[in-house]
Amino acid sequence: MSNEMTQQEYLSALIETYRGYKATPPQLELKDEQSLLKDVVSSAIRFAESEQVMQQLSEELFKCQKGECSFQQQVELTEKQMPEVLNAKMTAAAYLMKIISNEKRGINVEFTQ
């Protein structure tokens, strides 16, 4: 299985988790998992619609930068975080899936908002 497919499956599992469903992600190396989670959280800041959500995501990103993020941690946070935070992370995960898909096909995508 290709690394891109595994990353997309992982992001898909994250989206399902953010939606409140139980999901099992594919196995990734720890550094790859943490890198992908950092990408999701940092991208989610762009999709945040309020300062409060941006602040929560910034704090979460800081923890990820220190290596304190995992899929299980995301599951636990889902039970505590506001819908606006989960929506920003879900949107970011979907956006990253699109980037990975386009890179596979040789299409360059730039973020605009």
**Residue 69 above 80 pLDDT?**
yes
Q: What is the pTM of this model?
A: 0.88
**Residue 73 above 50 pLDDT?**
yes
pLDDT for res 113: 52
Percent of the chain with pLDDT over 90: 83
| In the chain, domain spans | 3-104
> Concatenated DSSP letters for 19-78?
TT----PPP--HHHHHHHHHHHHHHHHHH--SHHHHHHHHHHHHHHHTT---HHHHHHHH
86-97 confidence digits (pLDDT tens)? 999 999 999 999
77-86 confidence digits (pLDDT tens)? 999 999 999 9
Residues 74 and 16: their CA atoms lie apart, in Å, by: 11
